[in-house]
Amino acid sequence: MRQHAYNPVNWVEWNETAFEKAASEDKLVIVSIGYSACHWCHVMAHESFEDELCAQFMNEHFVCVKVDREELPDVDQTYMDACQLINGNGGWPLNAFVLPDKRPVHAMTYAPKEQWLKLMKTLHDLWQNNREAALDYAAKLENGLKGMSLSPELTQNTSNSVIHEQLFQAFVKRYDETYGGFGQAPKFPMPNNLQFLLNYHQYKGSDQALKMFSHTLDSMALGGIYDHVGGGFARYSVDQKWFAPHFEKMLYDNAQLIELYAASYSINNNLHHKKIALDTITFCERELKNSYGLYGSALDADSDGIEGLFYTFTYNELEEVLGKDSVFFSQYFQCRRDGNWEHNRNILYAIDNIPKAAQQFETDVTLFETKINECLNKLFHFRDKRNRPGLDDKCICSWNSLYLKGLAEAGFYLQDDELIKLAEQLASNILKHFDSDSELKRIFSNGKASISAYLEDYATLIDALISLYKSTRNESYLMTAADLTKKTIQLFYDKDKGFFRFNSGGAVLHHKFDTSDDVINSGNSMMARNLNNLSWYFDRQDWRKMSNEMLNAMQVLYAENAPWYSNWASLKLREEFGFEQFVIAGPETDRKFKMPKEMSGKFDCLIGFTNGQSELPLLQHKSYNQKSLLYLCKDMTCQSPVDIQLETT
């Protein structure tokens, strides 16, 4: 609304008053949905919403509602489903033509000005002169949306049929052997897909899965999708090679990739991946953090009206800043005098990792790396003087929680106290600023929390607090996670369906039961995992039963479409192979120490710590003498403890 405040269109917010106005004036409603960093949203705003002729027609014949998809994801999902039913695809800007009772009659994405005017005139004429046809089409769309809103049916089938190979092959089928990642173009980082590969490697010892995981991280870190100058990843690559990004940077992508690069370092000792994780954290701290200790949502792709202008360089600029070093630097990052991208500009796209590139340049690795970093630092200071891309400074509970988990997991994998302190500060700020009147809020902006939190917000925060316990050994985080789980069940759980609703209040049209994993895991798959994790810590058989019932009901979907249900697929691996719990018992478990070798490569497991004072059921009866002991348990049955030598660091 702030971005569109000066449009000649009379935009109003999504509320009941808007639809009451439409009913009283007998008008259709235009529901225009976008987000601040959306390039094509900006284009359509400039072409149509800032145009006096378009605005006059919109104001005269429609009630015009502007929605931020990140603030009201249930509204966005409802009309995105309609767009996909009508067109077979979707995207943003999303523009829905809606009856006063909120049922859509049409939905589409970007349209040039002339097409937009023609469409508005057609739909206005339909509403005025052929209302029965409009109502009939709305009824058909409503039936289609109702079908898309259904939850999977609970089943009594508890068969533990071995489907792990089927799950893995679904990922292999879509894997890009040349450039890593999944599918062709555009190509998105899909953190949950990569997490599945890591989990599959753990459970099956699959070298192929680990190679796919590492290759993808390597390719993204070398590609233009990664900001070599300032750290952090763009939202996606428009091509198959990870070369040309769509330059907007989102908190949720970077939050999840931090964890994966840190995990990769822990298993491969890949120093480049460690650097990527740390530099991405530095980007988030520098560019997204506000005075409340929370993190904004996104940076625009555009600056000065040009996509990618802030992040790209002309060859003359490289020569000006780097001098004679511009020659080898341009060779390494494949920059050309006429540019390798639009407007004679260059995207930095590395030819290979530093050690291999140093061999190609026939130079010492350390010297080569030092020179590259010196050049990047010079470009950072040069670039820093440019007009910056716009910042969407609203803070979203779920995205901040994803970053909290990224910090906590990176602190654990890298054994970095400073990252763990950052995570604890963020946890405190999330609970302080998003918790209002005994419920979570979704948005924090301009010093105020607003909009009741959605399932995604609760689920991501619970997940992050569980990770934070693992990094800090502070049981208060587990207790808070358990309390939030009880609240989530109270607000969202549908006992008849056996799944969690998308929101806690009234539905736009029909309650949505979100189950498919996108760039962010679905709220239901996250809650199934949370319930499973916490059931072991607290010996809650009822929570484990809820989780297992959800997993069983989803089996047909994730077995056939694993890449789109990857968090479910990972949970299925846990069920098939058995879930390990490690308990470290000893007098100094509050001190920082290196993880025992027995826990190496265990990315999907539960970890507990006790010095004899804990009341958690998982940690009961875990005795020790003078030495620390490691207990390995499965299904609450523990093997004989093993002496471990904890190396303080």
Predicted local confidence at residue 506, as pLDDT: 83
- Domain hosting 346: range is 309-388
Following DSSP, what letter does each residue of 498-521 receive, concatenated? TEE-S-SS--SSS-----S--SS-
478 with 536, same domain? Answer: yes
Peptide bond into 186 cis (omega under 30): yes
Q: Is 493 contained in some domain?
A: yes
Low-confidence ranges of the chain (pLDDT < 70): 1, 154-161, 588-595, 645-649
Q: Burial level of 53, CB count in 10 A (0-12/13-18/19+)?
A: exposed
**C-alpha triplet 508, 514, 518: angle, nearest 5°:** 120
Q: Among residues 355, 388, 421, which one ends one of the domains?
A: 388
State whether 405 and 501 are in the same domain: yes
Same domain? 444 vs 497? yes
Give the per-residue pLDDT at 326.
96
Note whether residue 157 is domain-resident. Answer: no
Compute the distance between CA of residue 195 and CA of residue 230 in angstroms, rounded to an integer: 25
Same domain, yes or no, for 408 and 547? yes
The three-state secondary structure class of 92 is: coil
Say what the pLDDT of residue 645 is: 66
Directed axis angle between helix 566-577 and helix 164-174, to 10°?
150
The answer to whether the beta carbons of residues 386 and 283 sit under 8 Å apart is no
Domain end, chosen from 388, 416, 436, is at 388
Statement to judge: residues 297 and 436 lie in one domain = yes
Residue 537, token pair as written in the block: 């810590």
Is 564 a domain residue? yes
Where does a domain end: 388, 414, 449?
A: 388
Both 227 and 369 in one domain: the answer is no
Q: Write down the pLDDT at residue 611.
A: 85
User: Using CA atoms, how far apart are residues 111 and 187, in angstroms rounded to an integer?
Assistant: 23
Quote the tokens at residue 247. Answer: 């330059």
Residues 355 and 319 in one domain: yes
**How high is the pLDDT of residue 158?**
45
Output the 3-class SS for 31-48. Answer: EEEECCCCHHHHHHHHHH
The reply to whether 97 and 171 lie within a common domain is no
Strand, coil or helix: what is 522?
coil
How many CA atoms within 13 Å lie on the side-chain side of 280? 31
Q: Do 537 and 629 have their domain in common? A: no
